[in-house]
Structure 1
Amino acid sequence: MAKSSNQKLKLLYLMKMLLEKTDEENTMTINEMITELGRYDITAERKSIYDDLEALRSYGLDITARKSKTTDYFIASRVFELPELKLLVDAVQCSKFVTHKKSNELIKKIESLASSHQALSLHRQVYVSNRVKTINESIYYNVDRLHAAIAENKQVSFKYFDYDIKKEKVYRKSGNRYTVSPYGLSWDDENYYLVTFSNKYNDFTHYRVDRMSDIELCESSREPLPENELFNIAEYSKKVFNIFGGEEVTVKLQFDNSLVNAVVDRFGKEIMIGKLDDDCFYIWIKVAVSSTFFAWLSQFGAKVKILSPDAVIEKYKSNIHDILAQYE
């Protein structure tokens, strides 16, 4: 009875072995397929295998035959090619917001999209770098819930916490829940942030997703944006500089010509650039003035200068002075 039942699955097992065991560098003959099917207690004749291969081709599997001393068969193309899978593995491995445990689980699933031989080259990449990862395992599911709330136009409630020096959670608002209207998720500086809007404050704010817990979708709909207000998550992320807020101000900045790439990377190709002289250019940009904005400027040393407004110049000077004061 068991053998007869397996016999009905012959086509599925044949597809499984071709996907798992073959690629352009690794092939199977008809005799090898018959032997492999025998491991599943399935008997097959050569003619039936030929018919099955044609059925799988009709189904959409790209099965190619290569003739030499024998006729070898392999899967010639897949939904994802090997370079694409390597890119996905790298993205998962480099993602700070995905924990080590979840990274390994995702990479295993990505490996299953390749042949077992190709999967070895993907598996080796897991150990390429030892990056800092989030320690909040639930972020993977938090992101999914938040996407669902945005799609369904619902408010969400959650608890929000920080870590103390013992790396233990300390909940804000004494553990009371936040209720917000989610309008976007931004992946910035290797962290996920939820961007929300409040009618009470008539402004957007943001929360680190890995610092959120006990997320629930509410029955109530999101607070609507003001009339004619258009929300652009990319523009919002640019203004707040790595999602650290501050007073929004239009600033004129001077840069050495060698920093054009850095400016375009930060603000996009649409940024208007003006020539100051043969060595420098300037831009006008609306940013949230904060310590993070100043830190971004500081990395360029004397190759960047704030030209206006005076209030921002004074804040930057004060920021530098406070840092220097620690070493006096």
Structure 2
Amino acid sequence: MKSTRFLRTISYRSCPILGIQATRQTVYDDIEILNSFGYEIMTQHGRSNRYFVGDRAFELPEVQVLLHAVGASKFLTEKKASVLTEKVADLLGEVCADRLKALLSENGGDCGNERIYYNIDAITTALMEKRKLSFLYFDCDEKGNKVYRKEGERYEVNPLGMVYSGENFYLVCYRDKYDTPASYRIDKMDDAKAEDAKITKKKEFENFDLNTYKRETFGMYYGEKAQVELLFPSVLLDVARDRFGTIEPVKTDGGYILSTAVRVSRTFFAWITTFEGKVKILSPQNIKDEYRAFIENIYKSLS
């Protein structure tokens, strides 16, 4: 659909407010130049011709997607979200921008980090140039004040990528002395820096798949990685796809059997429990036993 935001109603005399002198011919010449650069300036003829941009890099639905992504990003402070909203909405012009911004919910947590963009920039530099990254890492106390971990000592890591999950933005990385990946919330970093030192290469991370790591880890938190068989009823097959990505389930009388790798943890068991017995762990037996013990402990705590 072509957009029809008007640039300006132009008379063929002058624009004293902007200090610009114009004639009919200079307007035609300017439009021809803009068209030659791909802006596709359209004309609505009348007593006073009006001109508008006939096409844009972003259409209305695309800008709406971007705006809602901004609104769902808990890692942005209210100030950062507001500025970014203005910039994204302005892709469609002032009139549409005002209407679209009204659709965006308020953003920002109690413990925001105005340096989020600097952190992302430092991480991006480190990733592109294969350099180590260092940063301070903090939590927030009951009053929203920063409390630095490791007594303010800097973390130094080898970055693998960034992941957006659960309304937060994470750095995925590994440290020199460990052979397993770790993740850190980018909004809880301070003073992130791309160091001069190159990353420490490890065989374990030569073919690291960021999407697989996200699917197996985020939402399930940390735990031993294991291959499990899960039974989903037909009505919850979309839930399985949302959680585990591209899957090849096996249809049975009771639904669909899905074999997938997960991080076995209390969070994984809690997620299974939300389906009130409709999703079942079929194997291996030791994980079924752990899940049964998890449920029994909850029941005992109620008595």
TM-score using structure 2 length = 0.90
User: Structure 1 stretch 114-123 or stretch 282-291: which is displaced more?
Assistant: 114-123
Which one of 154, 159, 162 corresponds to residue 182 of structure 1? Answer: 159
User: Structure 1 stretch 280-289 or stretch 231-240: which is displaced more?
Assistant: 280-289
Contact 1:256-1:303 at 8 Å conserved across structures = yes
Give the distance between the partners of 2:73 and 2:116, measured in 1 at CA: 12
Are residues 1:276 and 2:256 paired?
no
Could you tell me which residue of structure 2 aligns to residue 67 of structure 1? 45
> Shift of the alpha carbon at 1:135?
1.8
**Is the partner of 2:137 in helix, strand or coil?**
strand
Which one of 311, 315, 318 corresponds to residue 286 of structure 2? Answer: 311
**Is the partner of 1:303 in helix, strand or coil?**
coil
Contact 1:160-1:171 at 8 Å conserved across structures = yes
User: Structure 1 stretch 108-117 or stretch 300-309: which is displaced more?
Assistant: 108-117
Which one of 157, 164, 171 corresponds to residue 148 of structure 2? Answer: 171
Are residues 1:194 and 2:174 paired?
no
Q: Which amino acid aligns with 1:177?
A: R
Give the distance between the partners of 2:274 and 2:283, measured in 1 at CA: 19
Contact 1:111-1:122 at 8 Å conserved across structures = yes
Which one of 204, 219, 235 corresponds to residue 181 of structure 2? Answer: 204
Are residues 1:105 and 2:105 paired?
no
**Is the partner of 1:250 in helix, strand or coil?**
strand
In structure 2, relative to structure 1, the CA distance for the partners of 1:298 and 1:131 (3 Å cut) is farther
Could you tell me which residue of structure 2 aligns to residue 15 of structure 1? none
Are residues 1:320 and 2:303 paired?
no
Contact 1:241-1:287 at 8 Å conserved across structures = no
Are residues 1:241 and 2:218 paired?
yes
Which one of 50, 75, 83 corresponds to residue 61 of structure 2? Answer: 83
In structure 2, relative to structure 1, the CA distance for the partners of 1:85 and 1:164 (3 Å cut) is same
In structure 2, relative to structure 1, the CA distance for the partners of 1:176 and 1:312 (3 Å cut) is same
Could you tell me which residue of structure 2 aligns to residue 18 of structure 1? none
The residue correspondences of 1:148-159 to structure 2 (distance < 5 A) are: 148-159=125-136
Q: Which amino acid aligns with 1:184?
A: G
Structure 2: gaps of 5 or more residues: none
Q: Decide which structure has the larger Cα Rg and report it.
A: 1
Could you tell me which residue of structure 1 aligns to residue 271 of structure 2? 296
Contact 1:181-1:198 at 8 Å conserved across structures = yes
| Length, aligned pairs only | 300
In structure 2, relative to structure 1, the CA distance for the partners of 1:25 and 1:199 (3 Å cut) is closer
Could you tell me which residue of structure 2 aligns to residue 39 of structure 1? 17
> Shift of the alpha carbon at 1:165?
3.1
Give the distance between the partners of 2:70 and 2:77, measured in 1 at CA: 10
> Shift of the alpha carbon at 1:28?
4.5
TM-score using structure 1 length = 0.83
- Residues 147-192 of structure 1: CA distance to partner in whole angstroms, max 9, x if unpaired? 1111110111112222233333222222211111111111111111
Give the distance between the partners of 1:164 and 1:48, measured in 2 at CA: 63
Contact 1:276-1:282 at 8 Å conserved across structures = yes
More helix by share: 1
In structure 2, relative to structure 1, the CA distance for the partners of 1:314 and 1:168 (3 Å cut) is farther
The residue correspondences of 1:216-231 to structure 2 (distance < 5 A) are: 216-226=193-203, 229-231=206-208
Give the distance between the partners of 2:38 and 2:297, measured in 1 at CA: 66
Contact 1:294-1:316 at 8 Å conserved across structures = yes
Structure 1: gaps of 5 or more residues: 1-22
